[in-house]
Amino acid sequence: MLFKTLSLAAAAAVSLAAPAMAEDVTVTLTGVEARGGVLLASLQTRGEFMQASATYADRVDHPAAGTVRVTFNDVAPGDYALMVLHDEDADGRMKMNGYMPGEGWAMVNGDALRGPPTFDMVKFTVAASGADLSVPMSYPR
């Protein structure tokens, strides 16, 4: 009986909870180079970090040099990592030159990285009002 009462109380609390607000996240990528291919951009949760899946994703085919804007719609508040790959050969994978990226990439705080990133190193917080970021692209020399 106690279990049934707790289950009903939990169900009622969930049904009365206010829905989480979701707003847009706009990312301005600076320093994009015209190298063909596709820009793959995603917002990843801690559990998705550095995996192939992402809650929010977008792509820009054949990006032009300069500044590119990507908008993720209806993003729930929380912590996310921005992952951007300029996939020049559009094979869905980042080329590596030894331990260094062989294609363009971007992350929040990416310019401070000196090794593989952790979620906490590159995360940012999306507020209930959304977020606007400006992030530079990095390309191999």
* 91-130 tens-digit pLDDT: 999 999 988 899 999 999 999 998 899 999 999 999 999 9
Q: Report pLDDT for 20.
A: 60
Those residues whose C-beta lies under 8 Å from the C-beta of residue 83, and which sit 6 or more positions away, are 41, 42, 43, 44, 50, 54, 107
Q: Report pLDDT for 30.
A: 98
In the predicted model, is pLDDT for residue 50 greater than 80? Answer: yes
Q: Report pLDDT for 131.
A: 97
Q: Report pLDDT for 21.
A: 76
Those residues whose C-beta lies under 8 Å from the C-beta of residue 19, and which sit 6 or more positions away, are none
Give the 3-state secondary structure of residue 73: strand
In the predicted model, is pLDDT for residue 7 greater than 60? Answer: no
Q: Report pLDDT for 132.
A: 97
Q: What mean pLDDT do residues 64-85 have? A: 97
Q: Report pLDDT for 19.
A: 46
Q: Residue 141: which pLDDT band, with cuts at 50, 70 and 90?
A: confident
